[in-house]
Amino acid sequence: MKTFTTVWLGQIVSLLGSGLTNFGLGVWVYQQTGSATLFATIALFAMLPGILVAPLAGIMVDRWDRRVTMLGSDVLCGLAVAVAAWLVMRGEMRVPHVMILAAFTSACSAFQVPAYQAAVSTLVPKEQLGRSAGMVQMGQAVADLASPILAGAAFALLHLQGLIFLDFCSFLVGAATLAFVRFPQVVKEKTDAESRSSLKEEFAQGWRFIRQRRGLMYMLGYFASLNFLLPMASVLFGPLVLSFSGPTGLGTTMSIMGMGMLVGSILVSVTGGIKNKVVGVFTFGGLLGLFMAGVGLHAAVWSTAAAGFFLMFCAPFTNGCSQALWQSKVPHELQGRVFSVRRMIAQGTAPIAMLCTGPLVDKVFGPLMMPNGALASSVGTLIGTGPGRGAGLCFVVMGALTLLVSTAFLMSRTMRHLEKDIPDVQPLAPAAA
């Protein structure tokens, strides 16, 4: 676990810096425009390029040294953030620049994420995969918890360019940790036919591996469903809270949610998560939907933060169980391709949801939940009416659907027998000193 822990600590610092920039730019964009549609469009730019690049990235991750791939991604992201800092200092930052920055870092993450995921399974033994998945979630939780607090406190002193500069420094820290470690070698000797294989054929290998294993196909379908339902609500979280509070309230709420993820991640790290990974995925997925609905019930910081705390508490269990399953079932030499196919399909529904979210809230849910709207005298008596209540209704509806989908998949016999129906992969030899 020593090498993994070194890499993990560097990635936490990098995530923390990214959180500072994301918080500052998110508040800046909403204050500049006040548009939920534009807010959702920027979120789309932060996701879609990574999905489109995923097929190529997965193949390259299996061909390249995974440590070097992660290092290159950190360096490129750091350079992009440096350009953004320069634009802010010159007073030339505009919304299109934010979109370009989001798109570029998304494309870089298409290489960094599968390389990181594949590297973890080579660095730790199978019995520690649940723990390592929890630690990865914990790193994200630390960033989610600390970034809003630090950003809120530092914004007045350092301004937006200061936050972006700190983000640049964090990328350097992440790159430095990767520069001084070594990963086990997983590239096998290829036959002549394999050496001549095209990118399309190698991508097809990853897809065939999943398609030939029904349990993994079902798991992929479940997360594709979740990644349609969750973004429709989560992309509206900033506008939802800002509709009844200010940046301070948003930062407080996000920090409390980050605390929920941190607590859940610590439990997963210490215990290794739920022993039956499949049950863990769908049970906590259902609870996640339940608490997501709770986020939209009341226009108050305390209730939104409380529901958000438990929502994020469930996320490490769902994601950690899923990640441990994939890492233990996919051969090491195929993980780049398989994980990229998995990301492309599972997250491919999210851009569709994001395209629908802004217009749905601005044109449909929002007017329905105004004081004179069609739902004011029915649903409005439960969750309130006025600005932001359309976003609240979106949280309630998508949360309820998430609970139903999770229950339906848990009842599937194929899913309940996934762990014993698909054999585990063999561990690799440790890295040379």
Q: What is the pLDDT of residue 286?
A: 93
Overall average pLDDT of the 218-242 stretch? 84
Q: What span, in angstroms and rounded, lies between the C-alpha atoms of 364 and 51? A: 28
**pLDDT higher at 347 or 26:** 347
Helix (H) or strand (E) holding 197: none
pLDDT at 392 over 70: yes
In tens, the pLDDT along 341-355 reads 887 788 778 778 777
Q: What is the pLDDT of residue 192?
A: 45
Q: What is the pLDDT of residue 21?
A: 75
Q: What is the pLDDT of residue 288?
A: 93
Domains of the chain: 2-180+207-421 (1.20.1250.20)
In tens, the pLDDT along 102-111 reads 888 888 877 8
* Length of the chain in terms of residues written: 433
Q: What span, in angstroms and rounded, lies between the C-alpha atoms of 161 and 352? A: 32
User: What ranges in 124-242 are assigned the alpha helix state H?
Assistant: 129-179, 192-195, 199-211, 214-234, 237-242
Q: How far apart are the first and last CA of the chain?
A: 14
Q: What is the pLDDT of residue 284?
A: 93
CB 10 within 8 A of CB 142: no
Tell me the pLDDT band of 13, cut-offs 50, 70 and 90.
confident
Angle, alpha carbons 423-70-170 (nearest 5°): 130
In tens, the pLDDT along 82-91 reads 888 788 777 7
**pLDDT higher at 151 or 79:** 79
Q: What is the pLDDT of residue 401?
A: 93
pLDDT at 125 over 50: yes
Q: What span, in angstroms and rounded, lies between the C-alpha atoms of 379 and 49? A: 37
Q: What is the pLDDT of residue 296?
A: 87
CB 299 within 8 A of CB 244: yes
Q: What is the pLDDT of residue 191?
A: 47
**pLDDT higher at 304 or 269:** 304
In tens, the pLDDT along 350-371 reads 778 777 777 788 788 888 888 8
CA 266 to chain centre: 18
Tell me the pLDDT band of 404, cut-offs 50, 70 and 90.
very high
In tens, the pLDDT along 146-199 reads 666 677 666 666 666 777 777 778 888 888 888 887 776 665 545 444 444 566
Q: What span, in angstroms and rounded, lies between the C-alpha atoms of 123 and 104? A: 29
pLDDT at 64 over 50: yes
- The single residue listed with the structure tokens 């139903």 is 404
Long-range contacts of 72-75 (CB under 8 A, 24+ apart): 72/111, 73/108, 73/109, 73/111, 73/112, 73/115, 74/14, 74/112, 74/171, 74/174, 74/175, 74/178, 75/171, 75/175
Q: What is the pLDDT of residue 195?
A: 47
**Backbone φ, ψ for residue 297 (5° rounding):** -75, -35
Q: What is the mean pLDDT of the chain?
A: 79
pLDDT at 372 over 60: yes
**DSSP state, residue 98:** H
Overall average pLDDT of the 236-244 stretch? 81
Q: What is the pLDDT of residue 188?
A: 52
Tell me the pLDDT band of 394, cut-offs 50, 70 and 90.
confident
Q: Between 335-359 and 301-329, two packed helices, what is the crossing angle to 10 degrees?
A: 150
pLDDT cut 70: percent of the chain above it: 86
pLDDT cut 90: percent of the chain above it: 9
Neighbours of 372 (CB within 10 A): 8
Q: Is the pTM of this model over 0.75?
A: no
Q: What is the pLDDT of residue 122?
A: 78
